[in-house]
Amino acid sequence: FPEMLSNPRLILVQGTRNVVMNQNVTLSCHSDSGSPPVTYTFFKHSQKVATLYRPDLTPGLFNLTINAASDVGEYKCKAENNISSGGKYSNSLNFTLIEPISKPVLSSPTSQAKKGQNVTLSCFSENGSLPITYVFFKGKQSISPPVKMQKKEAAVFFLFINSSSDFGTYKCKAENSFRNNTKYSNSFNFTLAEDRSHSQPLIISLGLILLLFVIGFALAIQFFIIPSYKAYK
């Protein structure tokens, strides 16, 4: 007797759900039981993308190439035979496009600091699929645990300038699930800010010396140069 089809199963037989641009994947739609022939229809969201006819219960295979961001999303399939009413629908299968990260930029609100000061470093990659993990370095040594960002925001590291050794070279690295795509940032250095508590007395002293010189020059004109000029005449 004719038998209705079971709900088909949509599975991935080639490729991965995390895909990169120009990647090929193959989907299989299969009803385990029911009377053939079977017509399989593949959908992306609610839009029909392919229809396959099978004279028996062999799976329907759909080949997909990821050419654009619009090619990812939710896929389903439908199985129909001569006695099914409206067909039977499968589970959904989702793809996620993985984008390589760009070189991160390491920056700080200030490039000058002094001992005893708190400063911040920010590391940010403009492009790349989330999440992105950042690590901060001083020289070649990591100074922070991995910071995983789930949003397009910079990772921030707080640093206390305790000694002259803290004025070294800093960098950060960024990576995501895209394989072999770790990127390192530009180098960043803090310079020692001028201590005004030491420079201010020096400026005052130079000002006093200049003032005394002007007063001495004025007195010399008053008491020596002018009387000598009058005596000469």
Is 113 in the same domain as 188? yes
pLDDT the model gives residue 64: 93
| Whether 59 and 115 share a structural domain | no
pLDDT tens digits for 181-227?
A: 899 999 999 988 765 554 455 556 676 777 776 676 666 666 666 66
Asked if the structure places residue 229 within a domain, the reply is no
Q: Is residue 203 part of a domain?
A: no
- Dist CA 168 CA 206 (whole Å): 34
Q: Is residue 223 included in any domain, yes or no?
A: no
The answer to whether 19 and 66 have CB atoms below 8 angstroms apart is yes
**136, 185: one domain:** yes
Model confidence at 70, in pLDDT bands (50, 70, 90)?
confident
Give the CA diameter of the chain.
144
The 10 Å CB-count burial string (b at 16+, else e) for 124-153 is bbeebbeebbbbbbbeeeeebeebebeeee
Do 51 and 91 belong to one domain? Answer: yes
Q: Are 190 and 164 in contact (CB under 8 A)?
A: no
The whole-number pLDDT of residue 179 equals: 82
- Same domain for 133 and 169? yes
Does one domain contain both 115 and 89?
Answer: no
Determine which of 4-13, 70-79, 210-219, 220-229 has the lowest per-residue pLDDT on average: 220-229
Q: What span, in angstroms and rounded, lies between the C-alpha atoms of 19 and 206?
A: 69
Tell me if 6 sits within 8 A of 43, measured CB to CB: no
Domain-located, residue 213: no
β-bridge pairing 18-19 and 93-97: parallel
CA separation for the pair 120, 28 (Å, rounded): 51
Which residue intervals of 186-225 are DSSP H helices?
Answer: 196-220
Query: Would residue 49 count as lying in a domain?
Result: yes
Neighbours of 217 (CB within 10 A): 11
* pLDDT of 134 above 60: yes
CB of 78 within 8 A of CB of 8?
A: yes
The pLDDT assigned to 163 comes to: 87
Domains in the chain, number: 2
For residues 122 and 75, membership in a common domain is answered with: no
Domain membership flag for residue 119: yes
Mean pLDDT across the chain, nearest whole number? 88
Of 72-76, 114-118, 146-150, 229-233, the poorest mean pLDDT is in 229-233
Residue 117 shares a structural domain with residue 149: yes
Same domain, 64 and 84: yes
From residue 65, give the alpha-carbon distance in Å to each of 25, 70, 94, 193.
6, 11, 14, 56
Co-location of 47 and 73 in the same domain:
yes
Same domain, 144 and 171: yes
Domain that holds residue 179: 105-192
Last residue of a domain, which of 69, 97, 125?
97
Query: Domain boundary residue among 44, 79, 97?
Result: 97
Residue 206 lies inside a defined structural domain of this protein: no
Angle at 109 between CA 139 and CA 151, to 5 degrees: 85
Amino acid in the structure at residue 138: K
**The CATH number of the domain where 115 resides is what?**
2.60.40.10
Q: Which of 53, 81, 97 is the last residue of a domain?
A: 97
- Residue 122: inside a domain, yes or no? yes
- Give the dihedral sign, CA 44/48/49/54: positive
* Same domain for 175 and 120: yes
